[in-house]
Amino acid sequence: MVRPLAQRLRVPAASPFGENISPPKEEGPPNPMTATPAQVHLLDHPLVQHKLTLMRRKDASTNSFRRLLNELAMLMTYEVTRDMALQDIEIETPLETMTAKVIDGKKLVFVSILRAGTGILDGMLSVVPGARVGHIGLYRDPQTLKPVQYYFKMPSEIEERDVIVVDPMLATGNSAIAAVEKVKALGPKSVKFLCLLTCPEGIAAMQKAHPDVPIYTAAIDRQLNDHGYILPGLGDAGDRIFGTK
């Protein structure tokens, strides 16, 4: 089971990075690599960490990058859905009647932020094949640098569903924040955010805008560079998934 980082490190709620981000109780200055966002779930399973390392390598081919992302998405879906509600139903086994558990409520919704989010969907859907899928397309206006929506398609009855918004990289947080805002406007039961990689800046921005949205990630890297890329990171996730560079 993956507990929130803050819980695992037993940290207070105040933060140098944002409202819900707190340093661990350690002597000396806070270390951004071990900062402890209250709502951030760091998926530190050895398989997740191993596969992420293979993806980061610049010599990973498009084929292996995509395959690893697929495998990672499956493992991460397992954790992000850990708290799904269950209900009891009565079934017949070949031997007798029993009360057994199934997932309660309407089907989950995975919302992909185009285009890189799409690279995570296959893996997620192989673990939760009945999930509904929404898409949000956003581009950055070169003048205002604000995200502008060019595509938005969501499943029906979203107010009765739990939503997981996905994008491999939570970097500046601009697209993720805008996407979560659009999803929240439809009134879903809950919203989570799942990414592969993030950084202190992305977490702080997301938590300032949406402190109620938990973030699930495989790593919190050192920082953003001047072009909005995560360091050390893995480069442009979209280009690496689709082989467009």
Binding residues vs ligand URA (CB under 6 A)? 116, 169, 171, 228-230, 233, 236-238
Integer-rounded Cα Rg, in Å, for the chain is 19
172 tagged catalytic: no
Least CB distance to ligand URA at residue 102 (A): 37
Q: Which of 8, 62, 67, 236 is catalytic?
A: 236
For residue 115, give the nearest of 242, 243, 245 by alpha carbon. Answer: 242
162 tagged catalytic: no
Q: Which of 59, 97, 144, 226 is catalytic?
A: 144
Pairing type for strands 215-217 and 190-194 reads: parallel
Q: Report phi then psi at 171, rounded to 5.
A: -105, -95
* Closer of 11 and 204 to ligand URA (Cβ): 204
* Closer of 16 and 232 to ligand URA (Cβ): 232
Least CB distance to ligand URA at residue 97 (A): 52
* Closer of 38 and 69 to ligand URA (Cβ): 69
83 tagged catalytic: no
Question: Which positions ≥6 away from 23 have C-beta within 8 Å?
Answer: 11, 15, 16, 30, 31, 35, 36
144 tagged catalytic: yes
Q: Which residue has the tokens 């084929």?
A: 63
* One-letter identity of residue 125: L
* One-letter identity of residue 153: K
Least CB distance to ligand URA at residue 36 (A): 22
Report the catalytic residues. Answer: 140, 144, 236, 239
